[in-house]
Structures are given as structure tokens and as C-alpha cells.
Amino acid sequence: MNKVIPIDLGLIDYKEAWDFQEKIFNRTIAQKIALRNDPAAEKTNNYLLFCQHPHVYTLGKSGEASHLLLNEESLKEKNATYYEINRGGDITYHGPGQLVVYPIFDLDYFFTDIHKYMRFLEEAVIQTLAHYGVVGDRYPGYTGVWLEPNTPNARKICAMGVKCSRWVTMHGIGFNINSDLNYFSHIIPCGIEDKSVSSLQKELGREVDLTEVIGILKAKMAELFVYEYNTDESFQKIH
């Protein structure tokens, strides 16, 4: 059975987490190339990173900078940063209370279908929401996980954006748990002007234990992708 190394990065600066992802991502691709030339070379590993970020807005390759409604001075006032990054998708927000998940998977070990991969990520979140009695769903034409799609009350609770090269993935999901939703008012989330956002805290009317959510989501991911966790590596070993 496939093995995945889980690493909880805690609250970490976005750029530091991005650099950490890139290091694993590039190493994984290099190992894949080496393995093709030498069957005795070290096999690639799969990683699942969990973290939270200080307030930050990130813009994907297909996004519009105009979807950020703050200038540089306003960003400083909000104690937020901004990055244009190499994932797909438009603009989104990350901040304390939001669970960010970065799977760095070599899909050659699972299935070489990026659309199926995205649907599996969505399904893991949908099943996690179901644990709390919240009905998550997909919204045709959009990525991520939604509540009451196809209704006037449609609202997004989880955004997604990934990069994939040589079937190795990076970036991932932003799942609003105890997020300060006011920060979303300063962007056009994912470029969608007429839809709102929500959080698990808002839906339940109470703060949610983030560690508990991580445990549930980890289990759902393992069930869907059919793998086991290997805890032999850590952030300190790789960094």
C-alpha cells in the first residue's frame, strides 16, 4: 500500500511554507527522473502538509490582479501580505483559523488524472463536513466545496488550487474552519463576484477544534486515495 508522510507545519508564514513545498516538489521530480534512469535509485515519497498562515492573499496564474480590492498601504493596515503564485485558480485568502492542506503526491502511485484528483480532494472535505452534520457539495462549473449550490444562498467553504508537473502535485486547499470571514470582503474570491463564503464555525455557531478537523480529514484522505501514514520524516529533517 502507498505511504504518505503527514507533516503539521502549524502557523507558518506563507512564503516559508511555499519554499518548503517547492523543496519537496522539486526533490520528488528529481527522484522520479533518477528512478527512470536507474531502477535502484531512491523512490519518491508522498507528503500531506497541514498548516495555517498569517493573513495573506494569493493570486493564481489564471487570476486577475484587480480581484484584490486593497492597495499596498491597505494591505499593511490589515496586517496582510500578497503573493502571485504558480498554482491554478484566481485569488483567495488564507489566515488564522483556516485549515490549509498541501498534498505533494506523485500521482503515478495513485492515478494519472488531475480532474479525478481534484474531485477526490473535494470529496475528502465533503465527507469531513458530513461528520459535523454540514452538507457540502460541488457546484457545476466551479472548483472547491460549496454549501447550498444552485440556490441564492450558495456559499463557498473550501477553495482549491493546485499545480501538477510530471504528475507530482503541490498547493491544495483552503478550508474555512474558524476563519475571520471579513478578510474575504477585500477580494473577489476566486474571481466569483456574486457568491459569498462561509466557515464551519459560522455554520455550526461555535468554534471548532482544528486538531479534530485535521484528524478527520487525514482519515478521509487515506480512505479515498487508499494509503497509510508514515511518520518517519518531519519538517526538521527536510528543512
64 vs 16, 60, 89, 238, CA distance in Å?
Answer: 24, 8, 10, 34
Given the residues 51, 158, 164, 190, the one annotated as active site: 190
What's phi and psi for 171, nearest 5 deg? 60, -165
Q: Can 190 be counted among the known catalytic residues?
A: yes
CA distance 88 to 172: 10
Active site positions, annotated: 190
